[in-house]
Structure 1
Amino acid sequence: MTGAYGFVGNAVVRRLSEAGHEVVALTHRPADVPLPELPVFETFRGDIRDGKALAAALDGVEGVCHLAALTRVRESFDRPEEYQEVNAGGTAVLLDVLAAVSPSPAPRVVLGSTAAVYGAPVRQPIGEDTVPAPGNPYGVSKLAADDALRARAEAGAVKAVSLRCFNVSGAVSGVGDADESRIIPKAVAVAAGRYPHLEMNGDGDAVRDFVHVDDLARAFTLALEAGTSAPYRVYNVGATAASMREIVATVERVTGRPVPVVHRPPQPEPPRLVADISRITTDLGWTPVQSSLERLVADAWSVVSGSRGQGLFQRP
């Protein structure tokens, strides 16, 4: 498991452990940084581009969940080369090393990809057959990672799945999304009094698709365990369509606190980006069960407000 100690990685590790898997973790956190408690069999430290670290971590594994990546869209415009090196280059290094240490039988690889590879298609909801047209360096780098994985799978080196995740939120075991450039983390931080207001482009009618991190973790587990004969599959993972205004209203309702909004001039952005999840439902039997807007906000709020644990609700 790469990126095991991140926001999504934390949830995936827990689901894999519950399913009976022994998880070997790779993290880029330095040796002098203590790691939070996770149910992992062993932990290795190293960069995803470091072949030696990967060789040690991948030796003997039967499958890989690959989540190590740079993920901030706005930041990617300032650091496009680094995003390409880590997201695309790191994936290529991982696949090279995996071929060397686990040549037979073909291991299974599940890549945490992103809906950003689609760009802003007119047709909604977005199906996996949509021609990718990423509109930022982050999406470009992740599409390159998808393509690298597809090529290795079609060559018979791996069995592979790319999970194209939409907007992930919520929390598992007190670990939420710390990226306050995203709407739900920022809105709950405003409700907590950490910021005076939330800035919103235009009237807030833009609609995006959100999925709970634990629902996403179940998708990773199902994809890893699936007995499909196809060498490579792509699945969208989304759940709940909501506008920016709906999110703010839900944060105020769940927290009982105001979220002052400062409206900025409208920006050229797609009015609606939502997922067609019929393929993953049909193939893997996955459906979101924890991704109501109220649950997404409540679990994110539980972390910001200091209520550790699963969140305000109990996980099924």
Structure 2
Amino acid sequence: MRILVTGAGGYIGYAVARRLAAAGHEVDGLVRRAADLPRGVRAVTGDLLGALPPGPYDAVCHLAARTRVRESFDDPLAYYETNVGGTLALLRALGGGGAHVVFGSTAAVYGAPPEGRPIPETAATAPAGPYGATKLAAEQMIRQYARTGAIGATVLRTFNVSGSVDGRPDPDPTRLIPKALAVAAGRAPHLEINGDGLAVREYLHVDDLAAAYVRALEAAARPGEDRVYNVGTGTGTAVHEVVATVERVTGRPVPAHRRPAVPEPPELVCDAAAIRADLGWRASRALPELIADAWNALTRTND
């Protein structure tokens, strides 16, 4: 297949483009400026809000987006412009050619999680902030356009992604694992933890996520079809357990300062039964390997 990957220079986009090229597909990576891309991926310079590369494409992995939750509260219009406006521009450029669009979405689209249960795709959507709201709006646009018969659509909702491929670290220092690793590396004096550190989250290796995109693309949704899948491990880990794992993997201490607790769900874990049943995908890496890969990428950039 000929596939366009938007945001191919980014953390997840790079991993997805790399997997697709390794699977033998013809991959164009859309980047706003010159960027390192995986071997076998052709760089195409463009902008979702400006000129898009000419097709036709059999499929598009749409990963270009603004993704920082806290930043979205400070500048919500920028998030709507990129995440919603950029998606609209992409769909207009694709026209009605029947391409399969695989959209990278997020667990931030969900509302309050079911008490004590993993979150299924059927859970209520009620984003708590602009980032989740813009991703949900883009999801709805893509799925409704698919129902006209113009495209096929698959939405992949992810929770927390970490790890590394090709020595590329997670560029978002606000996430728990990059913050803890920065402390272990001596880049920060301590880690700040809200409350007692018992909040439970799940963590997925970026290369496992990339493998899910390959499965979704190769099980192509036909024009008129739309699907939604959670992509995750379904295994939760408390914050204090993540920190202990970072210390064990790196062999370095991670001193922590506790801040007052903030209102947040005690547990956010996905139900990924649908993607396992339909696409045969499941995560292959546990938390220690994920942290080890992220640590190796971080220390490599220090050399």
When residues 207 and 187 of structure 1 are mapped into structure 2, their CA distance, relative to the original with a 3 A threshold, is same
1:121 positional shift: 1.9
Quick one: distance in 1 between partners of 2:41 and 2:220? 24
Q: 2:31 aligns to what? A: 27
- SS of the residue corresponding to residue 129 of structure 1 reads coil
1:118 positional shift: 0.3
Quick one: distance in 2 between partners of 1:232 and 1:108? 10
Q: 1:125 aligns to what? A: 118
The answer (yes or no) to whether the contact 2:31–2:46 under 8 Å persists in 1 is: yes
Q: 1:38 aligns to what? A: 38
The answer (yes or no) to whether the contact 1:120–1:273 under 8 Å persists in 2 is: no
Aligned-pair identity (%): 54
TM-score (norm 1): 0.90
Q: 2:172 aligns to what? A: 179
The answer (yes or no) to whether the contact 2:8–2:29 under 8 Å persists in 1 is: yes
When residues 44 and 183 of structure 1 are mapped into structure 2, their CA distance, relative to the original with a 3 A threshold, is same
How many residues of Structure 1 are paired with residues of Structure 2 in the alignment? 295
- SS of the residue corresponding to residue 235 of structure 1 reads strand
- SS of the residue corresponding to residue 262 of structure 1 reads strand
Q: 1:245 aligns to what? A: 240
Quick one: which amino acid aligns to residue 283 of structure 1? D
- What do the CA deviations read for 1:74-124 (whole angstroms, capped 9, x no partner)? 00000111101100111111001111xxx33x1100000000000332342
Which residue, out of 212, 222, 242, partners 2:215? 222
Which residue, out of 40, 65, 69, partners 1:69? 65
The answer (yes or no) to whether the contact 1:202–1:265 under 8 Å persists in 2 is: yes
Quick one: distance in 2 between partners of 1:116 and 1:28? 26
1:4 positional shift: 0.3
Summarize the alignment of residues 127-166 of structure 1 with structure 2, pairs less than 5 Å apart.
127-166=120-159
- SS of the residue corresponding to residue 26 of structure 2 reads coil
Q: 1:3 aligns to what? A: 7
1:58 positional shift: 4.3
The answer (yes or no) to whether the contact 1:174–1:302 under 8 Å persists in 2 is: yes
Quick one: which amino acid aligns to residue 126 of structure 1? I
Moved over 6 A (4+): none
Summarize the alignment of residues 51-130 of structure 1 with structure 2, pairs less than 5 Å apart.
52=51, 54=52, 57-99=53-95, 103-104=96-97, 106-123=98-115, 124-130=117-123
1:227 positional shift: 4.1
Summarize the alignment of residues 263-278 of structure 1 with structure 2, pairs less than 5 Å apart.
263-278=258-273
TM-score (norm 2): 0.94
- SS of the residue corresponding to residue 230 of structure 2 reads strand
Summarize the alignment of residues 283-294 of structure 1 with structure 2, pairs less than 5 Å apart.
283-290=278-285, 292-294=286-288
The answer (yes or no) to whether the contact 1:208–1:241 under 8 Å persists in 2 is: yes
1:129 positional shift: 0.5
Quick one: distance in 2 between partners of 1:296 and 1:88? 31
Supply the RMSD in Å over aligned alpha carbons: 1.4
Quick one: distance in 1 between partners of 2:110 and 2:175? 19
The answer (yes or no) to whether the contact 1:4–1:27 under 8 Å persists in 2 is: yes
Q: 1:313 aligns to what? A: none
Quick one: which amino acid aligns to residue 146 of structure 2? A
The answer (yes or no) to whether the contact 1:24–1:40 under 8 Å persists in 2 is: no
1:241 positional shift: 1.3
Quick one: distance in 2 between partners of 1:294 and 1:252? 10
1:69 positional shift: 0.2
The reply on whether 1:13 has 2:17 as its aligned counterpart is yes
- SS of the residue corresponding to residue 246 of structure 1 reads helix
Quick one: distance in 2 between partners of 1:48 and 1:187? 34
Which residue, out of 241, 246, 254, partners 2:249? 254
- What do the CA deviations read for 1:109-152 (whole angstroms, capped 9, x no partner)? 00000000003323420000011010010000000000000111
| Structure 2: runs of 5 or more not aligned | none
When residues 152 and 58 of structure 1 are mapped into structure 2, their CA distance, relative to the original with a 3 A threshold, is farther
1:176 positional shift: 2.0
Quick one: distance in 2 between partners of 1:135 and 1:141? 11
Q: 2:277 aligns to what? A: 282
- SS of the residue corresponding to residue 190 of structure 1 reads helix
The reply on whether 1:304 has 2:298 as its aligned counterpart is yes
Summarize the alignment of residues 231-242 of structure 1 with structure 2, pairs less than 5 Å apart.
231-239=225-233, 240-242=235-237
Quick one: which amino acid aligns to residue 176 of structure 2? I
1:173 positional shift: 0.6
